Amino acid sequence: MKIAVVGGGLAGLSAAVRLAGEGHEVSIFEKNSHLGGKMNVWKSEGYTFDMGPTIITMPAVLERLFTSVGRRMEDYLQMVSLDPQWRTFFADGSQFDLFSSLEGMTAEMNRFAPDQMANYLQFLSYAHRMYDISEKWFFWKPWGSLKDVLGAGSFGPQSLSLAAAIDPMTSMHQAIRKHFTDPRLAQLFEHFVQYVGSSPFLAPAILSLIPWVQIGQGCWYPIGGTGSIARALGKLCDELGVEVHTDTAVEKIEIRGGRAAGVVVEGGSFYDADVVIANSDIVRTFRDLLPSEESEQYLRKHSAQLEPACSGVVLYLGCSKRFPNLLHHDFFFSSNSDEEFRDLYERRIPHADPTIYLAIPSRTDPTVAPQGCEAVYALVHTPYISPEFDWKTGAQTYRDIIVDKMERCGMAGLKESIVTERMITPLDLESLYWVNKGAIYGVVTKRGLTSAFKTGNRSKTKGLYFAGGSVNPGAGVPMVLMSGQIAAQCVLEDMGTGDRIKNNMNQNARV
Ligand SMILES: Cc1cc2nc3c(=O)[nH]c(=O)nc-3n(C[C@H](O)[C@H](O)[C@H](O)COP(=O)(O)OP(=O)(O)OC[C@H]3O[C@@H](n4cnc5c(N)ncnc54)[C@H](O)[C@@H]3O)c2cc1C
């Protein structure tokens, strides 16, 4: 079978690897000159910056991809687990390290807020339960609606107990506040919902699984930078004979006789295919690559489900000094998280005292900065592009607000130490990766039947499949790697070779 993949992001790469591993003729069409999409790298003056993802969770999802094509992940990547995972700084001047190990967490909690340890353990058990439910019902499946899920278990007592178990009436905010009475810890754990760029007031409680995924399964870093994951997948594609067309934008997905027939690229060349997998942003796919009355209707009908997740500003700062008081991952929290979330998700303006997330991989990995220096990445989440804020005129002032806060929060001497610098804004994210309104994490996750689910991986159009952060199961490195593998599974099932794959999927479901 000939398979065309639109976009060489992590989801496109994982679908390509999986299908090439089954002997299919796979071609990737990527508009940029690099593979990996948002897992992009910028090098300058001896510094190496991962431009997108920096926190890697659930490495077993990636490992499964390697195993599925008869490879060992450790032959391609050197993954290290970080513990403590984060150092967090609060507006009242206090500081807390998040540990994965129980011993580390007990000692830190005894120092910081001894009365909260029991609450923490109860929360962890709740979060673990949410993870188990997700793993059983939602992960590794091509679901596009609750009907798909309930239908699968045949509607009855089991599905009713599922509906109750996911705590459907509770928001992430309520779930966290129910467990923690210390507002600082509530702020810390609530912040995990930013991994999917959604508001804790609107996101469902089941997303409490995210802290468990990191604390229970580890916070990982591949030596050489997270970009090594994209490079490893590119190498796998090479070994498996995938044809890669970089600097090649797809202009249209060709539909003939009601089924996908190939892609038309910039310049007009047509590449025929039996199957097309779109790793491009779902809204842009329907709007730009499949223009039709039907697509318009889909976008209108599902506008709530397709609302973009948050965007962000990222600074990459090559510094000629070290910051030994910081860890690999750090957070300088805002003074009022409720107001911060309201600005991001309701008022749609950048917050004046933003939470700043820092990745300083040079704390772990000497290869990413010159000796005695630090490669600093600072990410501030912002609303997606909207008329409420003009990034063309407002970006520089916002950059200064971020750098001033970093200096105030313990990075004295930062400004004078910067030897190389780059900033990306929501406008850059939109143009770099062709994502709807600069969204970092695809589409928002909200409670409610119409918006809790993402677009499914199997299109109504025969031969067309979707993979990536804006479709099922959602955004973030592990989820998009899963998404690509699910799309590949759908292709294989639809061509009648899926049984073996399906069993294989179930066998490995516990990651
Ligand atoms: C600043 C930032 C920080 C992040 N931090 C984390 C983190 O710490 N941990 C984590 O797990 N996740 C993080 N994420 C999210 C994570 O990076 C994404 O969820 C994931 O990489 C998305 O992968 P994807 O394959 O869905 O899409 P993308 O990476 O967007 O790939 C899609 C590809 O398709 C290409 N494309 C689009 N349209 C076309 C077309 N018409 N023709 C050809 N090519 C096309 C694009 O150029 C792109 O390369 C972060 C993202 C960003 C931007």
What is the tens place of the pLDDT at every residue in 412-449?
999 999 999 999 999 999 999 999 999 999 999 988 76
| Residue to substitute in 279, 311, 481 for testing ligand 1 pocket (most ligand atoms within 8 angstroms of CB) | 279
Could you identify the atom of ligand 1 that is nearest to the CA of residue 54?
A: 8
- Cα 439 to middle of ligand 1, angstroms: 10
DSSP H stretches of helix in 374-497? 391-408, 414-417, 426-433, 477-494
- Cα 10 to middle of ligand 1, angstroms: 7
pLDDT band, very low/low/confident/very high, at 152 (cuts 50, 70, 90): low
Over residues 135-148, the mean pLDDT reads 85
The yes-or-no verdict on residue 510 having pLDDT over 70 is no
Q: Which residue do the tokens 């779109």 mark?
A: 278
Contact assessment for residue 144 and residue 453, using Cβ atoms and an 8 Å cutoff:
yes
The yes-or-no verdict on residue 313 having pLDDT over 80 is yes
Cβ neighbours around 319 below 10 Å, total: 25
Give the start-end residues of each E strand in 235-283.
243-245, 250-256, 259-265, 270-272, 275-278
Ligand 1 within 6 A of 39 CB?
yes
- Cα 483 to middle of ligand 1, angstroms: 12
Fold classification of 2-40+225-301+452-507 (topology level)? FAD/NAD(P)-binding domain (3.50.50)
What pLDDT digit, counting tens, does each position of 75-121 carry? Answer: 999 999 999 999 999 999 999 999 999 999 999 999 999 999 999 99
Ligand 1 within 6 A of 373 CB?
no
0.75 exceeded by the pTM?
A: yes
Could you identify the atom of ligand 1 that is nearest to the CA of residue 469?
A: 26
Q: How far is CA 279 from CA 90, 138, 354, 453, 467, in A?
A: 38, 20, 31, 18, 5
Give the DSSP letter string of 265-324.
ETTS-EEE-SEEEE-S-HHHIIIIIS-SHHHHHHHHHTTTTT-B--EEEEEEEEESS--T
What pLDDT digit, counting tens, does each position of 324-342 carry? Answer: 999 999 999 999 999 999 9
- Write the residue with the smallest CA distance to atom 2 of ligand 1: 52
Q: Which amino acid is at 496?
A: G
Span(s) in the chain for CATH 3.50.50.60: 2-40+225-301+452-507
Q: Which residue do the tokens 């220096």 mark?
A: 373
Q: Helix, strand, coil shares of the chain as percentages rounded to 5?
A: 45, 20, 35
What pLDDT digit, counting tens, does each position of 442-467 carry? Answer: 999 988 766 678 999 999 999 999 99
Mean pLDDT of the chain: 94
Contact assessment for residue 443 and residue 282, using Cβ atoms and an 8 Å cutoff:
yes
Span(s) in the chain for CATH 3.30.519: 310-438
Ligand 1 within 6 A of 6 CB?
yes
Class of domain 310-438: alpha beta
Give the DSSP letter of residue 347: I
